Amino acid sequence: MQVQPSLLTARSPLATFFAVLTIFACTALAHANDPAPDAAEFTVADGRFSLAAPADWQRVRPRSMIVETEFSVPPVGDDSQPGRLTVMGAGGSIEANIDRWCGQFSQPDGSKTADKASTKKLRVAGCQVTLVDITGTYKDSPGGPFAGGRAIDRPNYRMLAAIVETAAAGNYFLKLYGPAATVEKSADGFRSMIEGMVPTGN
């Protein structure tokens, strides 16, 4: 008498396939909400230098096409707006860019912003770095300086910026700006991020 293969035996390859598929699906769902690995790490100068942002900063999609990397910095206290870190390469002299940034701020007493701004130079990973600190009422252009639209005056704002001069890829600009209290809380993290820049070997 001929013995017919059982239904289970006949379908075992298909059953195995679905079992494996189920395992992969469950694994994917289990890790779907995992944070991206090294989300705080980013590079500048065509990948030649690596930096690490503070862990509580959230990497977001840049609002402007000219911005390469952007982070949202959590607000503190009564601040209603988060801070914003933007990273981009751009031309122009160091002095011209600092003057432009000062022009984005006004002072409640009518004095010149440039007279109150401070700068500091240091060397990091073989690069000349200029640190800039500006406070006042900031003329915020949410879409970027070239997007057009009406600027929004934001009183009691602060900007911490770093201009990194690289030999192979030109100047890179890292700007942290937002409500003064929020920026003050993240000031040490910003400086540590800049001072911790390292070559990648690329």
Of 178, 143, 138, the closest CA to residue 154 belongs to 138
pLDDT level of residue 201 (50, 70, 90 thresholds): confident
Which tokens go with 202? Answer: 């690329």
How would residue 39 be classed by pLDDT, with cut points 50, 70 and 90?
confident
Residue 176 per-residue DSSP state: E
Q: Look at residue 104 and tell me whether its pLDDT is greater than 80.
A: yes
pLDDT, tens digit (0-9, with 9 covering 90-100), for 45-96: 999 999 999 999 999 999 889 999 999 999 999 898 999 999 999 999 999 9
Whether the pLDDT of residue 25 is over 50: the answer is no
The β-bridge partners of 10 are none
Residue of higher predicted confidence among 113 and 3: 113
Token pair 């001929």 in the structure block, residue: 2
DSSP state of 81: S
- Residue 23: per-residue pLDDT: 42
The reported pLDDT for the residue numbered 156 is: 96
Enter the DSSP assignment of 62: -
Residue given tokens 């995992």 in the structure block: 34
pLDDT above 80 for 111: yes
Could you give all domains of the chain from N- to C-terminal order, each with its CATH number? 41-199 (3.40.1000.10)
Whole-number pLDDT of residue 145 = 55
Q: What is the DSSP string of 85-127?
A: EEEEEE-S-HHHHHHHHHHTEE-TT---HHHH-EEEEEEETTE
Give counts: helices (H), strands (E), the chain.
5, 11
Higher-confidence residue: 29 or 145? Answer: 145
Residue 32 has pLDDT above 80, yes or no: no
CB 193 within 8 A of CB 54: yes
Q: Does pLDDT of 16 surpass 50?
A: no
Q: Cα dist. 138→85, 155, 157, 188, 202 in Å?
A: 15, 6, 6, 21, 37
> Exposure pattern of 87-98 as b/e (b: 16+ CB <10 Å)?
bbbeeeeeeebb
More confident residue, 14 or 65: 65
Instruction: pLDDT band for 202, please (50, 70, 90 cuts).
Output: confident
Per-residue pLDDT tens over the stretch 138-190: 998 765 555 556 788 999 999 999 999 999 899 999 999 999 999 999 999 99
CA distances from 92 to 96, 100, 137, 163 (A): 6, 10, 24, 11
